[in-house]
Amino acid sequence: MSDFMRCFSLALLFVFGCNSNNEFKAQADPEFVVLKPEMVLDDFGEGIFFTRVSITADNDRIYVANQNPATLFLLDKDFNLENLIEDRGDGPGSILNPVQVESTKHGVMVEDRGNNRISIFHPNTGEFLEQINLPEPVSIWRFFYDGNGILYFPLRGYKSDSNSVLKVNLQGEPLGKIGVWMPQNENDFNRQSRLIQPFEDGNIMLLGINLPYLDIVSEKGKLLKRHRLDQFEPIKRAIDSLESDFKKPGYKRGEKEIKHVLVDAQYADQHLYLSFTDRIGLDRTRTRHLLEFKFVKNKLVFKRIFRFETGTPDDTLHPFTFFVDREANKIYTQGLITQNIYVFDFPFKN
């Protein structure tokens, strides 16, 4: 080898070795943070209890959709009840099985799986405004409204293919389906359920609930960037454990069975928050409830691990749902076991 080639090779090794090492350190050594709740709620007063919920917030209020009994709570930022909708049924303004809630410029949108529609309520008064009938059934995972008249819904995993996201306008008319293929083993069970989050410049983030892909796609479904979540140890452990379950002798998956690793996700201000099922081992004293990532240029950097320390059975399992309220510097979670709602002061970082 010539002296020039030898020096050139060493220079390449130095550049790429340093870059890889820096990226590895940023991903492999996240900060570990323990949070303790400042507020614990098991009802909203006057015997109004909740079961499984979806939580969102805007600058003025917090909105909680309760699945059973079907109820929509409108609360102030201290969780004081201001209004509630508990008209249950299939008539206009009634709700039957609300699974997701989102605050938009058109009002509070509630995905009612029981009626296969979106019901929209006034954020201040709770007055029913209108409804959007969905052209086909969708999954229970978070939907996304782009603010420009288009709703995105994840389809039910066991029925979906690579086009796993349904686009619908505000009149309930289908605008087509988008998505990209998530590679699986040959002849494997279809496991394409997604979590959908907005991204910059009108793009959309799709996360496989049990496959290790984070895809950023255009509004037309073109794949722009793919990140592998299994490069990060906590998620890799969970995925490996899930695959190990599938390979156990005698185990047979049902037609509609979709075991998931990712439980909930939220993107906010270049940060991605993920809750996941940590399935490994009996010693769960350091169970990680929430992971924080940051998009830095074209990389996904693992920043922090949060543990919610509540002193209840919820401490050993992931939360059922969460919402990061960057306006109030809070995070709201619901415990998987107790179904309590916990409010934490959230230490934001850029």
pLDDT category at 161 given cuts 50, 70, 90 is low
Q: Are 86 and 119 in contact (CB under 8 A)?
A: no
Strands 31-35 and 299-308: parallel
Contacts within 8 Å (CB) and 24+ apart, 165-168: 165/194, 165/196, 165/204, 165/206, 165/221, 166/135, 166/136, 166/138, 168/132, 168/134, 168/135
Tell me the average pLDDT across 5-24: 39
Whether omega before 69 lies within 30 degrees of 0, making that bond cis, reads yes
Instruction: Using the predicted structure, report yes or no on whether residue 190 has a pLDDT greater than 70.
Output: no
User: Which has the minimum average pLDDT: 140-144, 271-275, 324-328?
Assistant: 140-144
Q: How far is Cα 316 from Cα 153, in angstroms, rounded to an integer? A: 31
Predicted confidence at residue 18, as pLDDT, reads 40
Predicted model pTM: 0.86
- Say if residues 235 and 229 touch (Cβ distance below 8 Å): yes
Helix (H) / strand (E) element for 110: namely strand 107-112
**pLDDT value at position 14?**
37
Per-residue pLDDT, averaged over 36-52, amounts to 86
Q: Is the pLDDT of residue 330 over 70?
A: yes
- Which residue would you say has higher pLDDT here, 245 or 178? 178
Mean pLDDT for the stretch of residues 198-213:
87
Mean pLDDT of 330-346: 95
Give pLDDT tens digits for 163-185: 888 999 999 999 999 888 776 66
* pLDDT at residue 185 in the model: 60
Q: How confident is the prediction for the chain on average, in pLDDT?
A: 84
pLDDT given for residue 249 in this prediction? 87
Q: Is the pLDDT of residue 339 over 60?
A: yes
Taking residues 30-47, what's their average pLDDT? 89
Supply the CATH classification number for the domain 26-345: 2.120.10.30
d(CA 115, CA 307): 36
162 vs 108, more confident: 108
Domain ranges of the chain: 26-345
- As a whole number of angstroms, the distance between CA 114 and CA 111 comes to 9
Reported as a pLDDT band with limits 50, 70 and 90, residue 280 is low
pLDDT of 87 reads 87
For the segment 206-236, what is each residue's pLDDT rounded down to a tens digit?
998 877 889 999 988 899 999 999 899 888 8
pLDDT greater than 50 at residue 52:
yes
